[in-house]
Amino acid sequence: MARNPEHAAWETHLASALDAEVEVVATRSRRRPLQLRVLRQRQGENRARMRVALHPFFGAGTAELREAVAAWVRSGSRARHATQALDAFIRAALEAHPAPARPPQQLITRGRAHDLARLAEAVRRQHFAQELKQLPPLTWGRFSRCATRRSLRLGSCDPDGPLVRVHPVLDSEAVPEFFVSFILFHELLHVVLPPRTGKSGRWVHHSREFRERERAHPDHALVLEWERQHLTALLKAARRSAPLTQPQTQAKALVRRVQRLLFGD
């Protein structure tokens, strides 16, 4: 696949300005239209390696914009003039390129085992009564084809909505209500405390206040322990694109499969 010529121009400039190996990739994030990731150096290499993600509205960039990005990568918020210039550019670009209208989506809150609307309203009343007068849209998500092995995103909050999604692997009687409620609490906390830029100029999604409020939740320790005990089972269920099942349910299903093989339907 041919390289994006605009990305190639950025790579040439940034590599020269930073004396580093730079890869430029695209991002559609409006919350983080400019992102930096420092990569591990290969053995024997002296130059730093980094990946810079740019929103398409950066285009090929003017000379001033390229210098500002290079300064931000090099020094973060210490490059005050560059940071201010980038903030102004991004604000203007976001206004000139409004977010595309989200296609209508069927929101499903009542699942097989858990009703997200009921649980979320209880969470709102208990923890966010003064901050959230009404709930954002909620829905059970869809199973992904990605066969994840070590991690599982159990909830998400789309800041451009906002829209809160909960992973369907949790829609099971095997998952206690307190756990689903805590996932909703975490995502609603993102609505109350949205991402912001930190002192380094990079986006902070889980601020100190966020972590403190999360730890103060009365079920925090219980939730962590339940997740520790069941994470492997959750990962396996997600790979099967099925909700978590009780151990005895799995055993019964195995017996039924063996019976079908031996005796037919």
Go through the chain and tell me how many residues it has. Answer: 265
What pLDDT, on a 0 to 100 scale, did the predictor assign at position 251?
A: 44
What pLDDT, on a 0 to 100 scale, did the predictor assign at position 150?
A: 64
Asked if 111 contacts 119 with a C-beta cutoff of 8 angstroms, the reply is: no
Phi, psi dihedral angles at 153 (to 5 degrees): -85, 105
pLDDT > 90: what percent of the chain? 58
Which residues, in sequence order, are CB contacts of 100 under 8 Å at separation 6+? none
pLDDT by residue (tens digit) across 117-167?
A: 999 999 999 999 999 999 999 999 988 765 445 678 899 988 666 789 999
The mean pLDDT of the chain is 85
Residue 31: HSE in the Cβ half-sphere, 13 Å Cα cutoff: 14
More confident residue, 44 or 69: 69
- The dihedral over CA atoms of 123, 126, 129, 130, expressed in degrees to the nearest 10, equals -130
Which residues, in sequence order, are CB contacts of 14 under 8 Å at separation 6+? 20, 22, 24, 52, 66, 69, 70, 73
- Average pLDDT on 41-64 reads 86
Q: What is the distance between the alpha carbons of residues 113 and 90, in angstroms, rounded to a whole number?
A: 44
Say which range, 33-47, 180-194, 196-210, 234-248, has the weakest mean pLDDT: 196-210
Asked if 138 contacts 109 with a C-beta cutoff of 8 angstroms, the reply is: yes
Q: What is the distance between the alpha carbons of residues 180 and 195, in angstroms, rounded to a whole number?
A: 23
Residue of 6, 8, 17, 16 whose CA lies nearest to 74: 17
What pLDDT, on a 0 to 100 scale, did the predictor assign at position 158?
A: 80
Q: What is the distance between the alpha carbons of residues 260 and 256, in angstroms, rounded to a whole number?
A: 6
Instruction: Pick 116-254's CATH classification: 3.40.50.720, 2.30.30.30, 3.30.2010.10, 2.40.128.50.
Output: 3.30.2010.10
pLDDT at 221 over 60: yes
What pLDDT, on a 0 to 100 scale, did the predictor assign at position 202?
A: 61
Q: What is the distance between the alpha carbons of residues 250 and 239, in angstroms, rounded to a whole number?
A: 15
**Amino acid identity at 250:** Q
